Each structure stands twice: as C-alpha cells, then as structure tokens.
C-alpha cells in the first residue's frame, strides 16, 4: 500500500479547494483543509477522521503558523515544515513546476528585452545625470 500523503489545502471552503480536499480524502489521504472561515470549510469538506479543519488567512503569519503547527501535531512532520528554513512558496506537481518555469522564462525575457531602459531609470543613475 502506498504511503498516505498529507494535503495542505487553502481555500477549502468552496470551489476547487473543497473538491480537491474531498477527492484527497476519498482516496485515503489526510487533509488539512483551510479557509478564512473554519465553519464554512467544515461544511464544504464534511467530517472525516483524516481531515483537520483550520482557519487560515494567508496574509496573517500567525494563522499560517497555527495551521502548520496543528497539521504537524496531528499528522506528523510536513517534510518542508521540518526544515530550518522552509521555502516561502512551494510549487507542487510537475504541471505547476512547468507553469512556474515558463513564468520565470517569460520574466527573464522581459528583463533582457528592456534591461538598458530599466537600469537607466535607477534613482542613483538619475541623480548622476542631474
């Protein structure tokens, strides 16, 4: 039997977040389902032994730390959460990595195309010309 995975899902109070949470639970995975309103998340996802419902406003660090702490306490060490310096953002899945790599390539192309103009607008460079 494959190892059970733990999903940490934001926006699980409706839409794709709720559907992903229910699908992950249906195949035997554990889920930390989060959203701005924990009651709405619980209603959307339903009750399950392997579900942990947590309030999370992703713009509030204390919410994020509490949700991750509860996840670790309930389901064991999240590999990333146990790192001394976890990433601020984690891209999960080959499709998401592909999209992120394309975004990086697009940004690099824009930087290269307008490098001279962009660097000519530095505050320090402008003050030297004055």
pTM for this entry: 0.63
Which one of 3.40.50.450, 3.40.50.720, 3.30.499.10, 3.40.30.10 gives the CATH number of domain 1-90? 3.40.50.720
What digits encode the pLDDT tens for the residues 54-106?
999 989 999 998 998 888 888 876 777 667 887 878 887 788 899 999 999 99
What digits encode the pLDDT tens for the residues 3-33?
778 899 999 999 999 999 999 999 999 999 9
Residue 122 has pLDDT above 90, yes or no: no
- Give pLDDT, residue 44: 97
Residue partners of 33: CB distance under 8 A and separation at least 6: 9, 12, 17, 18, 21, 41, 44, 45, 51, 52, 53, 54
Alpha carbon distance 50, 71 (integer Å): 11
Q: Taking the domains of the chain in order of start, what are their residue ranges? A: 1-90, 93-130
């Amino acid at each position: 039997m494959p190892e059970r995975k733990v999903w940490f899902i934001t926006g699980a109070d409706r839409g794709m977040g709720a559907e992903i949470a229910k699908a992950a639970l249906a195949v035997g995975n554990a889920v930390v389902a989060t959203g701005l309103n924990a009651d709405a998340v619980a209603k959307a996802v339903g009750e399950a032994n392997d579900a942990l419902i947590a309030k999370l406003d992703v713009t509030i660090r204390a919410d994020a730390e509490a949700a991750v702490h509860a996840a670790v306490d309930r389901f064991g060490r999240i590999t990333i959460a146990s790192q001394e310096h976890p990433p601020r953002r984690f891209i999960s899945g080959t499709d998401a990595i592909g999209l992120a790599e394309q975004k990086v390539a697009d940004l690099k192309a824009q930087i290269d195309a307008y490098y001279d103009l962009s660097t000519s607008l530095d505050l320090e460079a402008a003050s030297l010309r004055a």
